[in-house]
Structure 1
Amino acid sequence: MHNFIRLLKLCKPHAGMLLLGAFLASLTVLANVGLLAISGWFLAAMAAAGIAGVQMNYFTPAGVIRFLAIVRTASRYGERMITHNATFLLLSEFRVKMFRTLSQLNNVDLAMSRSSDLFNRLQNDVDALDKFYLNVLLPIIVAIISIPIVMAFMAMYSAEVALVCFISLMIIGVLLPAILSRKLHRQADAETQISAELRSELADTLKGARELAVYQAQEAQLTHCDLLSKQYNSQLYNRHKAVANSNGLSTLVIQLTMLASVFMIIPLVAMGTMKNVELAMLALFVLASFETVLTLPTAFIELPLTLSAAKRLFALEDKHSSHLSKQQNCLAHQSAIGLELAAVNYQYAGAKNKALNNINFVITPGSKVALVGASGSGKTTLVNLLTGLWPKQSGSLKFITDQGTFELESMTAATRFKQLTIVAQQHHIFDGTLRENLRYAAPEATDEMLIEACEQAELGSWLNNLKTGLNTRLGTAGRKLSHGQSRRIAIAQALLREGNLIVLDEPTESLDNHTKQKLLTTLEKIWADKTMLTITHDPEMLSRVDKVIWLEQGQVRALASHAELVANEADYVELITRF
């Protein structure tokens, strides 16, 4: 029931169109019922008039019949158009929400999920929800609207017949669906799970066809897929069997009800309480009234499958940390945050040695720290763990704030990147204008803010010389820029953000000495209250930081000031001068 309510909440943006579709569907059902009942009366009346040799006014009932036929056709057309359009809108709503959920999950959740399973949820589970409105919600709404109206008109002719008909409607529309729904509830979960597993296994089989051939494991894998396929077909057979049984029972109840109503009306006609022509009308009225509930058994058969698919989708959304809002509120009021790494290890698949081996250090809020090490020492691995681009294997990575510490692993990507400002060594320039590239970092920034960021990044004179200014196109991957200009655009983007922990990867690379000195002075002034972690081997930058973390072969070799390392470590001096 909880997932049903959550699905209803997702329908809220399109509630007007959904209700309009339900109104047109109800109008179609009522027009069908009225058309069949009046047609029965008209045919019986014409026959009775012919036998008695009297005249009757056939223009009025003929006009009513024609009117109801037009109403039925027009409302059916409108209902199909509105309800299907509403279904497509709901599907887009579900799919966008699902994609948004995937994009907000932290990378550990993503890394621990099979890509084929995530795709299955995004594709097939969302597609399963297209039945929620048309096959589940719409029949329920139509029944709620139509049954009271039909019963009210039927009771005007015979309260007893209306009561019998109402009981039969409840059997078909409530009792039978409830039994089917209860019976198929567990089976629906199994069917959805087996379907997802089968698709995942088939995707893995195709993707790993070469490896299966090399290790001669195709037969075992195909046997496993065949077993899953048989299990899935068995689940489908049980469901379709239930649908067939439901349709058969519904038909039996309808025929018995109509027969019972005829036997109840005959004495009334014999006593003169009811006109003979009303016998045919009321019998057909009873028969047509079941159109109000005829699709409810199927709706309740589809409901468990829809809720099972919704459960899988909502399971991803529920992976968000329960204390996420607390983290966001605490982190939002920080001007700087620190970083604590404890017993962090990381080893790439197939590698003999660890890329990071028992890394322990603390960066206090507001401090300026440099990360130094030869190629392969673990600097990039450490930054990727910090950003969440790679999942943590062991150890602890925490943000330090005035109100406590927060595990990075428990944060969503959006929360984590809101606190981080990163200037990567490999920075991509998109094929667009300078304004568009800068606004990736700050979509709401004004042109004045963009120009100021360019000036702070030592791009002011270059920008002033551009004929079209911020409207200048930078070309694919920034091919119209020098490497130094590309680096400074990345720094300008970083200046537009409001992150509390700044991560810079060789920020002064490809810059001349004069530009570098001015840029470093500007960055120190602007980010004076921020925490900065800089990967660099530039002696000028190293002399400006509070501490240096020296990595070697995945371990912290030393943690000291630049001056202390220069005075005591010859290998350190050789490292920074070599670069």
Structure 2
Amino acid sequence: MADFMRLLRLCKPHLSAMLLGAFLATLTVLANVTLLAISGWFLAAMAAAGLAGAQMNYFTPAGTIRFLAIVRTASRYGERLVTHNATFLLLSEIRVSVFSTLSQLSNVDLAMSRSADLFNRMQNDVEALDKFYLNVLLPMIVALISVPIVLIFMSVYNADVALLCFIALLLVGVALPLMLSKQLQQTAELETKYSATLRAELSDTLSGLRELAIYQATEQQVKQCRTASERYNQQLFTRHNAEANSNGLSLLIVQLSMLGAIVILAPLVYSGTMVNVELAMLSLFVLASFETVLTLPNAFIQLPVALSAAKRIFDLEDKLHPTTNSTEELVAVQPLGLELKQLSYCYHPNSYALNNINLTISALQKVAIVGQSGSGKSTLVNLLSGLWPQQNGAINLTSTDKSIAINTLSQQNRCELINIVAQQHHIFDGTIADNLRYAAPTASKEQMLAACQQAQLAGWLNDLKQGLNTRLGTGGRSLSRGQSRRLALAQALLRAPAILVLDEPTEGLDNQSKHQVMDAILTSMGHCTVISITHDPALLANMDNVIWLEQGLVKAIATHQQLLTEHADYVNLITRF
């Protein structure tokens, strides 16, 4: 019920469109029911008049039938138009909500979820929810409004028939769907789970084809995919089988109800208590009345599927950590230093990635961080960026006149002040200018060219016929690794951050590309505080200080030359890379 109410809250922004769609759908159903009942009366009356050789006014009922046919057609068209538009609006609301949730999840939460499972939640679960209004909510609203109206009019002619119809409507529209929904509730959860598992297995298979071929494990992986597919198909078969049984039983109840109405009314016609033409009208009225609940069984079938999908999506939303409201904002970017006080972070109990770190980096200082794999370098970067939540200790930004706790800043303000150039930097499928404008949307052509000049890209850019309008392809496939790294640096320079963090900026580059990237870094050093994770001796030699981390602790802080002189382990550390 809680997930159902949360889904209803998502519908609130588009409530007017949804209510209009419900009104038109109800009008269509009532017009259709009335049309069939009056048509039955008219045909029976015409037949009776012909047999008796009597005259009757057929203009009024014929006009009424035509009017109802026009109302039914127009309202059906309007209902389709409005309800589908409302469905798309709700779908947009859900998609934005899911993407917003994913964008706010910390790296810890994302790392504990399989990428294929996250993709399944974004695609399969959202697609399941796009039917919530049209296939679940709308039929319930239509039934709640139209069933009482139909029964009131039916009871005017015969209360027994109205009672019979009411019981049959409850069976077809409520009892059978509830039984089916309860039967399929566990199936729906398993179906969603097995669907996600199947997608994950297929994603792993496609992503790891090379490794599977190398280790000759393709058949084993395909077998796992086949097993996952069979489990998923079995759940689909169970659901479809239950739906078919329910539909057959519903059809039987509808036919028996019409037959029961005839049995009740026939003696009344025989005794003269009821006019004979009313027998045909009420019989068809009973038959048509089931249209008011015709879509309810499917609504109850879709409800567990929608709630199961909603639960998985809301589970992600519930993972969001409460964020501290911004209490201070830096008015503009200015030279800033960094102060870490008793900073600790652990992934598992008693397993610290960072353990009671205390250090100070002055404004405009150039600092390198070195250490073996697992010493806490990447953890420190993720804490600075806000991608991982701060656990213990404090991270403060310092200026000449004040110190500000970094977790009191808004995420937008933090991103303006601290820019991180990752080792694996994504290049979007677009032009060079498009990629640069991701960093600075309002940047002019002159500013972009100046940033490229600083990043040592001017020579390459001048050789391109289309210059900044050159497309880079998916993932920047037309760029070398060195060019990709320098383009990332140009993006950072365009933002002109107060603190620039570089993650292994020269790792994996050939000598020429390495020197070009180093020249770009050295050019940028005069404008901001630089923190570089690197083991490149040439880059370390240009740093003011080197912070040496080991097993989450600060082992030493000194210049590169001092560490070379005083620590043999340091020499081994930087020459190994």
Normalised by the shorter chain, which TM-score bucket? 0.7 to 0.9
Cα 1:28–1:220 shift into 2, 3 Å: same
Give the match for residue 32 of structure 1. 32
| 8 Å Cα contact 1:423/1:494 also seen in 2 | no
Q: Across the two proteins, how many residue pairs are aligned to each other?
A: 534
Secondary structure in structure 2 of the residue aligned to 1:549: strand
Q: CA RMSD in A?
A: 5.2
Query: In structure 2, what is the equivalent of residue 283 of structure 1?
Result: 283
Structure 1 CA distance for aligned equivalents of residues 384 and 246 of structure 2: 51
Output the CA distance in 2 between the equivalents of 1:66 and 1:49.
Answer: 21
Aligned to 2:296: 296
Q: CA offsets per residue over residues 323-381 of structure 1, 9 Å max, x none? A: 2x32x4367689976435548899xxxxxxxxx9977632358767643367x866998
Partner of residue 314, structure 1: 314
Alignment of 1:467-482 (within 5 A): 473=468
The one-letter amino acid paired with 1:493 is: L
- In the TM superposition, what are the counterparts of 1:69-468 in structure 2 within 5 Å? 69-270=69-270, 272-321=272-321, 323=322, 325-326=323-324, 328-329=325-326, 338-339=339-340, 341-342=343-344, 361-364=357-360, 370-372=366-368, 382-383=377-378, 386-387=381-382, 399-400=394-395, 417=415, 420-422=418-420, 440-441=438-439
Using the TM superposition, give the Cα deviation of residue 177 of structure 1 relative to its aligned residue in structure 2, in angstroms: 1.9
Contact 1:504 1:535 in 2 (8 A): yes
CA contact under 8 A between 1:27 and 1:75: conserved in structure 2?
Answer: yes
- Structure 1 residues 428 and 304: CA distance shift in structure 2, 3 A: closer
Residues 542 and 548 in structure 1, CA contact (< 8 A), matched pair in contact too: yes
Q: Which runs of 5+ in 2 are unaligned?
A: 397-402, 455-466, 507-514
CA contact (8 A) 2:343 2:358 kept: yes
Question: What is the SS of the residue equivalent to 1:421?
Answer: strand
User: Does the residue aligned with 2:56 lie in a helix, a strand or coil?
Assistant: coil
Q: Does 1:559 align with 2:557?
A: yes
Q: Say whether the 8 Å CA contact 1:377–1:554 is kept in structure 2.
A: no
Greater mean alpha carbon deviation, residues 216-225 or residues 552-561: 552-561
Q: Is the 8 A contact 1:198 1:228 kept in 2?
A: yes
Letter in 2 for 1:363: L
Deviations 1:382-410 (A, max 9, x none): 257523799999x9786435898979xxx
Residue identity matched to 2:83: T
Please tell me whether the aligned partners of residues 551 and 558 of structure 1 are also in contact (alpha carbons under 8 angstroms).
Answer: yes
Return the offset for 1:276.
Answer: 2.0
Q: Is the 8 A contact 1:22 1:138 kept in 2?
A: yes
**Relative to structure 1, is the Cα distance of residues 69 and 214 closer, same or farther in structure 2, using a 3 angstrom cutoff?**
same
SS of match in other structure, 2:395: strand
Shift of residue 37, structure 1, vs aligned partner? 0.2
Taking structure 1 as reference, are residues 188 and 288 closer, same or farther at Cα in structure 2, changes over 3 Å only? Answer: same
Q: Is the 8 A contact 2:421 2:492 kept in 1?
A: yes
- Secondary structure of 1:54's aligned partner: coil
2:326 match: secondary structure: helix
Distance 2:9 2:164 in 1: 37
Offset at residue 9 of structure 1 (A): 2.5
Taking the aligned partners of 1:296 and 1:22, their CA distance within structure 2 comes to: 14
Q: CA deviation at 1:227?
A: 3.2
Pair 1:105–1:331, CA change in 2 (3 A): farther
String of CA shifts for 1:231-267, please: whole Å, max 9, x gaps.
Answer: 3233222222221222222223222322332333334
Report the Cα distance in structure 2 between the residues aligned to 1:534 and 1:104, rounded to whole angstroms.
26
Amino acid at match of 1:329: S
Q: Tell me how far 1:191 sits from its aligned partner.
A: 1.6
Q: 1:108 to 1:36 in 2, by over 3 A?
A: same
- 3-state DSSP of counterpart to 1:308: helix
Maintained 8 Å contact 2:451/2:494: no
Cα offset, 1:196, TM superposition:
1.6
2:518 and 2:539 in contact (8 A); partners too? no
Question: CA 1:485–1:214 in structure 2 vs 1: closer, same or farther (change >3 Å)?
Answer: closer
Q: Map of 1:444-523 to 2, 5 A cutoff?
A: 473=468, 490=491, 492-495=493-496, 502-503=500-501, 523=528
Partner of 1:352: none
Distance 1:363 1:212 in 2: 46
After TM superposition, the score normalised by the length of structure 1 is: 0.73
Deviation at 1:290, TM superposition (A): 0.8
The residue that corresponds to 1:467 in the other structure is: none
The percentage of counterpart residues that share the same residue type is: 53
Does the 8 Å contact 2:369/2:532 carry over to 1? no
Q: Against the structure 1 CA distance between its residues 437 and 113, is the aligned structure 2 distance closer, same or farther, given a 3 Å change threshold?
A: closer
| Deviation of 1:74 (Å) | 2.9
DSSP-derived class of the 1:329 partner: coil
What is the DSSP-based 3-state SS (H/G/I as helix, E as strand, rest coil) of the residue aligned with 2:54? coil
Q: For each residue in 1:525-549, what CA deviation from the matched residue of structure 2 results, as whole angstroms up to 9, or x when unmatched?
A: xx8xxxx645697799755xxx642
If the length of structure 2 is used for normalisation, what is the TM-score? Answer: 0.73
Aligned-residue offset at 1:307: 1.1
Task: Please state how far the C-alpha of 1:284 moved relative to its aligned partner.
Answer: 0.9
Given that 1:359 and 1:555 are in contact with CA atoms closer than 8 Å, whether structure 2 keeps it comes out as yes
Shift in CA distance, 337/135, structure 1 to aligned 2, threshold 3 Å: farther
In structure 2, the CA distance between the partners of 1:213 and 1:268, relative to structure 1 (3 Å rule), is same
* Structure 1: runs of 5+ lacking an equivalent: 347-355, 460-471
The Cα shift of 1:73 comes to 2.6
Contact 1:373–1:379 (Cα < 8 Å) also in 2: no
1:39 offset after TM fit, Å?
0.8
